[in-house]
Amino acid sequence: MNLISIENIHKSFGERVILHDISFGINKDQKIAFVAKNGTGKTTLLNIIAGKDSADEGQIVIRKGIKLAYLSQKMDLNPNLTVEQSIFNTDNPILKIIENYEKALENSDDIDAYQKAFDAMEHHHAWDFETQYKQILHKLRLENLQQKVSELSGGQQKRLGLAICLLMNPDLLILDEPTNHLDLEMIEWLEAYLQKTKLTLFMVTHDRYFLERVCNEIVELDEGIIYRYTGNYSYYLEKKETRLEIEKATVEKAKNLYVRELDWMRRTPQARTTKSKSRIDAFYETEELAKTRRKERPMELEINMERLGSKVIELHKVTKSFGDLQVLKPFEYVFQRGESLGIVGKNGTGKSTLLNMIAGLLKPDTGKIVIGDTVKVGYYTQEGFHIKPGQKVIEVVREFGEFIPLTKGKTLSAGSLLEKFLFDRKQQYDFVEKLSGGELKRLYLCTILIQNPNFLILDEPTNDLDIITLNVLENFLLDYPGTLMVVSHDRYFMDKIVDHLFVLADGNIKDFPGNYSDYRDYLDHRETEPEKPESKEEKKATEPKKTVLSYNEKREMQQLETDLEKLNSEKKKIETDFVEMRIAEDKMYAMGKKLEEIIATIDQKEERWLELSMR
């Protein structure tokens, strides 16, 4: 059953054509990934389908009665509402069913209305809605339901938007980069959730494992033409390679025919017969095909990196805390030339803090970081770089260097580097404001590489990059002779690039010898190992002694649990703000004191709760 038809969509911004004559359909139960290069209008198309933007030409035909939910890059949430209020401040049809049931309860005389409302609750499983939304928010680590939207980070707001979309249980769910701002544990949960759900999906994502495991169809926009592949990501890669080989062979055949026909055209008299006119028309078609050139350019970035000495970077008993939160317990490590290191851990475990310390942007509390004399650090941060108004693309790169040295004594100019990163000569002289999010990331990467670093730190480099650029970046990093540190939630990227992992948790860093898939296999194996059964004596020793609390003590215990839940949520919020550097410098002392007070109160209440529970 067709849900939506996209018919002859055309969209331009000024002179720049983003979408031209785009047509395809979305049918029930399909899980479609939309694949295209950065800057070719992926987000624009999603906005048009969702009704957030309009096309210059063409139309979107939506089947009557279709319920649609859209997770955009920037969610439009009311900043004055809490997390829980935001869930209820939607047009979710389940909420209407619950409202009707509550009204029917109030008007108990109308038996038919009550029965109808009750049946609707049963049919739509509305009884479970509260449990469902709390479970989803817990998985997305939005456990403080009373926290205001205005207090949430951009990533938390995106996760709240995702929760709202999933709870809508729509006929069609549109997702724009759903894995951005999720850590690896959240991504794996969302992947499993979407695998088992019957939702129809249309999404843009660069996460190739996500594509592989969730999607059953790929729609690709390539050189302005739509191609459809019924299968997962592996099938798409295989069939695309076949298509490109056929395309290449067709162009080569056309070139040979073009040479012969060009000779005939030059020899044929001006007076044309009807018969020769059809041959002339065919000649021009052959000429167009023969001169077809794909805009894709392989990026061979054989950069002649500055020499890296025997001493790289050494960490000696380094620690870091924010208030009472110890982000990094005493840690020692000596980096080696040529190693490729991945860093994993839940959001808020201090990944960016560790990178900032190694890059020299943040000082450790104790211990020392020794940097070798020959080390030149290149640091790609999540924040990106500052864009000056009216600046052109090539001017941004030239601020950091006019050229970079390549192997064999060659050089690569700023303009040529940009071409390697798929910025053609015309686009290099466009204003930076015209670039898409992914194109800005590509440009930022150019500014890092042109500085020719020999110690490269990449903090979430895969966000907003298209798959083509990711493949190019991966190939470059595989040949990169320097030392590499990378934080990324892109599991495919991590598997391909890193030799070992730093696993961050509770202020500790464990060095795991392998890539991310190796680490997941290790965790899965550990979880499936059978537990040693307890002996009768051990079991008896651990059994709690049953006593009866008074009514007031039970009430006190319940109140303590409520208080502790709120205090721990507040503590976690402040700690996360410290770790992610969201607290202004002049407010750090005051927030640190507040955190100390909260921790002291938690200790006091936990002690009383433990006393009651022991009894």
pLDDT over 60 (residue 551): no
Computed over its alpha carbons, how large is the radius of gyration of the chain? 29
Per-residue pLDDT band for 546 (boundaries 50, 70, 90) equals very low
Looking at the chain, the domain(s) classified CATH 1.10.287 span 542-614
Q: Residue 454 — φ and ψ, nearest 5°?
A: -110, 0
CB 304 within 8 A of CB 405: yes
How confident is the model over 287-307, as a mean pLDDT?
Answer: 57
pLDDT over 70 (residue 542): no
Of 35-49, 331-345, 509-523, 541-555, which gets the smallest average pLDDT? 541-555
pLDDT in tens, 142-152: 989 999 999 98
- Produce one character per residue of 233-257: b if its CB has 16 or more CB atoms within 10 Å, e if not: bebbbebbeeeeeeeeeebeebeeb
Interatomic CA distance for residues 192 and 182, integer angstroms: 14
How confident is the model over 280-305, as a mean pLDDT?
Answer: 58
Q: Which CATH code is given to the segment(s) 313-523?
A: 3.40.50.300
CB 203 within 8 A of CB 43: no
Q: Are strands 68-71 and 57-62 parallel, antiparallel or unpaired?
A: unpaired
CB 343 within 8 A of CB 351: yes
CB 343 within 8 A of CB 504: yes
Of 13-22, 111-120, 570-579, which gets the smallest average pLDDT? 570-579
Better pLDDT: 469 or 444: 444
CB 124 within 8 A of CB 97: yes
pLDDT over 80 (residue 580): no
pLDDT over 50 (residue 297): no
Interatomic CA distance for residues 465 and 390, integer angstroms: 24
Of 184-188, 295-299, 441-445, which gets the smallest average pLDDT? 295-299
How confident is the model over 472-484, as a mean pLDDT?
Answer: 85
Quote the pLDDT of residue 291. 55
Interatomic CA distance for residues 507 and 328, integer angstroms: 4
Better pLDDT: 156 or 556: 156
Domain boundaries 542-614, CATH class: mainly alpha
> Cβ contacts of residue 56 below 8 Å, gap of 6+?
10, 11, 12
How confident is the model over 121-136, as a mean pLDDT?
Answer: 85
Quote the pLDDT of residue 182. 87
**Percent of the chain residues topping a pLDDT of 90:** 36
CB 137 within 8 A of CB 566: no
Interatomic CA distance for residues 271 and 595, integer angstroms: 92
How confident is the model over 153-171, as a mean pLDDT?
Answer: 91
pLDDT over 90 (residue 34): yes
Per-residue pLDDT band for 456 (boundaries 50, 70, 90) equals very high
How confident is the model over 489-516, as a mean pLDDT?
Answer: 91
Q: Which CATH code is given to the segment(s) 2-236?
A: 3.40.50.300
Query: What is the side-by-side order of every strand in the sheet holding 200-204?
Result: 68-71, 172-176, 200-204, 31-35, 217-222, 225-229
Per-residue pLDDT band for 362 (boundaries 50, 70, 90) equals very high
Quote the pLDDT of residue 527. 66
Quote the pLDDT of residue 420. 80
Interatomic CA distance for residues 444 and 355, integer angstroms: 18
Q: At what angle do helices 437-449 and 467-478 cross, to 10 degrees?
A: 20
Interatomic CA distance for residues 104 and 112, integer angstroms: 9
Instruction: Using CB atoms within 10 Å of the CB of residue 492, give its burial: 0 to 12 exposed, 13 to 18 middle, 19+ buried.
Output: buried
Quote the pLDDT of residue 279. 60
> Cβ contacts of residue 559 below 8 Å, gap of 6+?
none
The verdict on pTM exceeding 0.75 is: no
Considering the chain, what is the average pLDDT of its residues? 83
Per-residue pLDDT band for 388 (boundaries 50, 70, 90) equals confident
Q: Are strands 340-344 and 483-487 parallel, antiparallel or unpaired?
A: parallel
Quote the pLDDT of residue 303. 62
How confident is the model over 503-520, as a mean pLDDT?
Answer: 90
Grouping H, G, I as helix, E, B as strand and the rest as coil, residue 278 is helix
How confident is the model over 376-381, as a mean pLDDT?
Answer: 93
Interatomic CA distance for residues 52 and 320, integer angstroms: 44
How confident is the model over 540-564, as a mean pLDDT?
Answer: 63
pLDDT in tens, 62-109: 999 899 999 998 878 999 999 999 998 888 888 888 888 888 877 767
Closest by CA position to 478, among listed 300, 351, 345: 300
Quote the pLDDT of residue 284. 61
Looking at the chain, the domain(s) classified CATH 3.40.50.300 span 2-236, 313-523
Quote the pLDDT of residue 544. 45
pLDDT in tens, 230-262: 988 888 888 888 888 887 777 677 666 666 666
**Percent of the chain residues topping a pLDDT of 70:** 85
Quote the pLDDT of residue 63. 92
Per-residue pLDDT band for 358 (boundaries 50, 70, 90) equals very high
CA distances from 463 to 188, 243, 487 (A): 17, 28, 11
